Structure 1
Amino acid sequence: MQHYICLMKNNPRNFLLSLTCILGLFSCTQIDLYEKTVTIPGHAWQSSFKPSFTFTIKDTTALYQPFVVLRHNDKYNFNNLYINLYVQLPNGDTVKRMQQDLTLADDINGWKASGMDDIYEHRIALGGPEPFKKGDYKFTLEQVMREVPLKNVLDAGIRIEKVK
């Protein structure tokens, strides 16, 4: 407590700057609907490992933007990632399979991701915003690259944002 008071007395400008930064960090962490990632065991994605993500849609008047979230290190050997995305709809018996070619890098600019040190995070939009029906959805990711296991992939997941 004394350190806190000392910081305010000695340099109120630094205190205000620190407080602003902390509040800014907390305001950036709001998720509009759903985001979850799972750690890839051993950072080597086996084709048999198919992470699944279940979320609920309540507001049918909004549009939603789905994303694939992927984290890898700088030793990942490819500019892209081929996945099959399986979507189980609220009626429970309809599963749609969509093959996706996710571009992770290009030869000119490098990784298309935010990065810190040697870890990169991609949030790749899947199509455009679309309406979702009310109910529970299940998204399953399957990597379908030729290299098995797919090394240097740390986490994979799904993010669903409500479009405002």
Structure 2
Amino acid sequence: MHKRLVFLSLMALMFVACSSDANVFGEYKPIKNGWDKNEKVSFEFQPKDTLNAYNLFINLRNDDSYKFSNLYLIVNLDFPGGKTVSDTLEYEMAKPSGEWLGKGFSSLKESKLYYKENVVFPTMGTYNIAIEHAMRKNGTVEGITSLKGITDVGISIEKSAEK
């Protein structure tokens, strides 16, 4: 009984020590049977204040069926009141050797990609981040209709260390 109590206490302490209060928001959405070129993955959130700075991340999970070493995304950040900031982003997903850059022990890899640093949300209300892929094969104008290998798309918002 005493060993069990010590073990449970140590586990609880490890859980508390490993959890971070820097993470303010985080969510994943699954991609089923390929990411359609017209499919926007959207996330709504409401910041808790208008004073602190935050870092925004795009989180992706991919498996070995992803056939590219990079990823192009179009990301729209909609503010309350109608303002939209649109970005076209490129991320490296693999080393030149083909080894995935994401973390994970199996064929599923998770990548945490910087989107924006030290963002202050100036007004209270609902914000929306919409993410779509902009992948195309070299030499073609048309986008890839269904992007295979991306299994989940997410965002996370963390308090910035800087003010």
TM-score by length of 2: 0.81
Partner of 1:163: 160
CA contact (8 A) 2:51 2:122 kept: no
Q: Quick check: 1:151 aligned with 2:148? A: yes
Q: Quick check: 1:142 aligned with 2:129? A: no
AA matched with 2:88: Q
TM-score by length of 1: 0.81
| CA-CA distance at 1:155 after TM superposition | 0.2
Partner of 1:115: 104
Identity of aligned residues (%): 26
How do 1:58-77 residues align onto structure 2 when only pairs under 5 Å count?
A: 58-77=48-67
CA distance in 2, matches of 1:109, 1:29: 32
Name the structure where helix makes up a greater proportion of residues.
Answer: 1
1:33 counterpart (3, 21, 24): 24
Gaps of 5+ in 2: 137-143
Q: Quick check: 1:81 aligned with 2:71? A: yes
RMSD: 2.2
From the superposition, tell whether residues 134 and 76 of structure 1 become closer, same or farther in structure 2 (CA, over 3 Å). Answer: same
SS of aligned partner of 2:46? strand
| CA-CA distance at 1:69 after TM superposition | 0.6
Partner of 1:102: 91
For this pair of structures, how many residues does the alignment match? 152
Q: Quick check: 1:49 aligned with 2:46? A: no
